Amino acid sequence: MSEEQEAQQRERDASGLKEHAKLLADGFFKLAGALGNGLERSVDTVTPRFARALGDAFTDTAKSVRELADGIDRRTLIEQRDFLGYYRKFLTAQVTRIDNRLARLERKEEETKLLSPA
């Protein structure tokens, strides 16, 4: 592959990475908004102040991720790869925590079914 072809490939890779990062940020922003809104509605009945703080935290997190994604295209490819690798590890840890929580809830639900009279 010639140097010109390699440069073109790097540009395509960077452009694709930029698009994926923006899609990731948009998806995260929408997810954070939906989670914040859903949690805010359910917590509103318990304590409105807590709900507002929770919604603000989700909004701030989503903004931070969007700013990171917008700035990622100004980084070197190595920095982009490192960032995305760390971000993948973070998300994997979050998915693991969610899976563990769901498993605990399912076990509790099964125990409750076994203990309740038929």
pLDDT in tens, 33-69: 666 666 556 655 556 666 677 677 777 777 777 777 7
Distance CA 56, CA 42 (A): 15
Q: How many domains does one find in the chain?
A: 2
Residues 15, 37: one domain? Answer: yes
Query: Could you tell me if 65 and 30 lie in one domain?
Result: yes
Nearest to residue 26, comparing CAs of 57, 60, 56, 70?
A: 70
Domain of 4? 1-74
60 and 22 belong to one structural domain = yes
Q: Is residue 17 a contact partner of residue 28, using CB atoms and an 8 Å limit?
A: no
Q: Which one has a higher pLDDT value, 1 or 113?
A: 113
Residue at a domain's end among 57, 74, 91: 74
Percent of the chain with pLDDT over 90: 8
More confident residue, 36 or 8: 8
With contact defined as beta carbons under 8 Å apart, do 18 and 73 qualify? yes
Q: What is the mean pLDDT of residues 87-116?
A: 88
Q: Indicate whether 116 pLDDT > 70.
A: yes
Q: Are residue 59 and residue 87 in the same domain, yes or no? A: no
Measure the CA–CA gap between 26 and 53, rounded to whole angstroms.
22
Are 51 and 93 contained in the same domain?
Answer: no
Task: Quote the CA–CA distance of 7 and 2 in Å, as a whole number.
Answer: 9
User: Which one has a higher pLDDT value, 18 or 104?
Assistant: 104
